[in-house]
């Protein structure tokens, strides 16, 4: 392969958590640091791709040579992704909140003496990976998702790949003992139409480099 096999190709990467507002000062979120998604954006850019990184709130530095779009909620992440189309490849590494508040309080919820705590009604967020996978004429040629699992990692990832309609899924164990959320390393099982490949535990940068090389190989072969 040439030194920059992705020159002239467009890529979209999502990274980090989303934040779902409860009221003007409170939100629901998760522990994604953006390390894995940002490393993937950087690796694709190093191979010459024109990369848009749509990121939730993280403390990672913007990767060199990448267009970074900063968002908070899942709804905003979806709009930013749709605005980045068309692309050759999309990689969804963000930990998108599955639910948002049914109603957003316009002012700070008050604690009144004797009153019970408020109950929060949740509704589903849009699924960005499934939406990109079903985007008809603007579907990226290659759509890659992650599966964050705490048990039956590979079996759940195989089912998730079918349900979401993406081409590849990178399954990772996110149980607390794994240290995957926020940590430096990751252990990936790559699920494709051809089967499952177990990758060794390696740094998130190494995972990103291996994935980017694999994407380059795939896009130049078709």
Residues at the contact surface with ligand PMT, assessed by CB under 6 A: 14, 32-37, 74, 92-96, 98, 125, 127-129, 145-148, 160, 172, 174, 180-182, 204
Name the active-site residue from 30, 137, 156, 186: 30
Does 91 belong to an annotated binding site? no
Q: What does the alpha-carbon distance between residue 222 and residue 219 come to, in Å, rounded to a whole number?
A: 6
Q: Which is nearer to ligand PMT, 5 or 172 (CB)?
A: 172
Q: How far is the CB of 111 from ligand PMT (least distance, A)?
A: 31
Does 128 belong to an annotated binding site? yes
Does 126 belong to an annotated binding site? yes
Does 111 belong to an annotated binding site? no
Structure tokens at 168: 């590849």
Following DSSP, what letter does each residue of 117-166 receive, concatenated?
PPPPPEEEPP-HHHHHHT-GGG--SEEEEEEEESSSHHHHHHHHHHHHT-
Does 98 belong to an annotated binding site? yes
Q: How far are the Cα atoms of 50, 55, 93, 198 from residue 89, in angstroms, in the given order?
A: 11, 17, 13, 22
Q: How far is the CB of 150 from ligand PMT (least distance, A)?
A: 10
Closest CA to 145 of 211, 52, 75, 72: 211
Q: Which is nearer to ligand PMT, 5 or 44 (CB)?
A: 44
Task: Examine the residue annotation and report whether 30 is marked as an active-site residue of this protein.
Answer: yes
Q: How far is the CB of 46 from ligand PMT (least distance, A)?
A: 18
Q: Which is nearer to ligand PMT, 5 or 167 (CB)?
A: 167
Q: Which is nearer to ligand PMT, 27 or 181 (CB)?
A: 181
Backbone torsions φ then ψ of 51, nearest 5 degrees: -110, 130
Tell me: cis bond preceding 105? Omega within 30 of 0 counts. Answer: no
Q: What does the alpha-carbon distance between residue 208 and residue 214 come to, in Å, rounded to a whole number?
A: 10
Cβ contact 14:91 at 8 Å: yes
Q: How far is the CB of 221 from ligand PMT (least distance, A)?
A: 23
User: Looking at the DSSP assignment, which residues form a beta bridge with residue 171?
Assistant: 147, 189
Q: How far are the Cα atoms of 26, 123, 127 from residue 106, in angstroms, in the given order?
A: 11, 18, 25
Which residues are annotated as part of the binding site?
98, 108, 126-129, 146, 160, 164
Which residues are annotated as part of the binding site for CTP?
98, 108, 126-129, 146, 160, 164
Active-site residue set: 30
């Amino acid at each position: 392969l040439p030194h920059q096999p992705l020159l002239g190709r467009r890529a979209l990467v999502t990274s980090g958590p989303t934040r779902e507002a409860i009221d003007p000062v409170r939100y629901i979120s998760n522990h994604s640091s953006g390390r894995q998604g940002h490393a993937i954006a950087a690796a694709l850019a190093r191979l010459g791709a024109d990369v848009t990184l749509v990121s939730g709130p993280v403390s990672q530095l913007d990767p060199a040579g990448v267009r970074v779009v900063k968002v908070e909620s899942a709804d905003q992440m979806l709009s930013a992704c749709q605005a980045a189309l068309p692309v050759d490849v999309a990689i969804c590494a963000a930990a998108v909140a599955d639910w948002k508040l049914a109603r957003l309080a316009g002012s700070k919820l008050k604690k009144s003496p004797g009153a019970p705590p408020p109950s929060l009604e949740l509704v589903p967020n849009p699924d960005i990976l499934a939406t990109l996978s079903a985007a008809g004429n603007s579907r990226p040629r290659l759509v890659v998702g992650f599966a964050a699992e705490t048990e039956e990692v590979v079996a759940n990832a195989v089912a998730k790949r079918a349900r979401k309609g993406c081409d590849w899924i990178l399954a990772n164990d996110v149980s607390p003992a794994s240290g995957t959320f926020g940590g430096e390393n990751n252990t990936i099982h790559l699920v494709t139409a051809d089967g499952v490949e177990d990758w060794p535990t390696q740094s998130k940068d190494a995972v990103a480099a291996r994935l980017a090389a694999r994407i380059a190989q795939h896009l130049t072969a078709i």
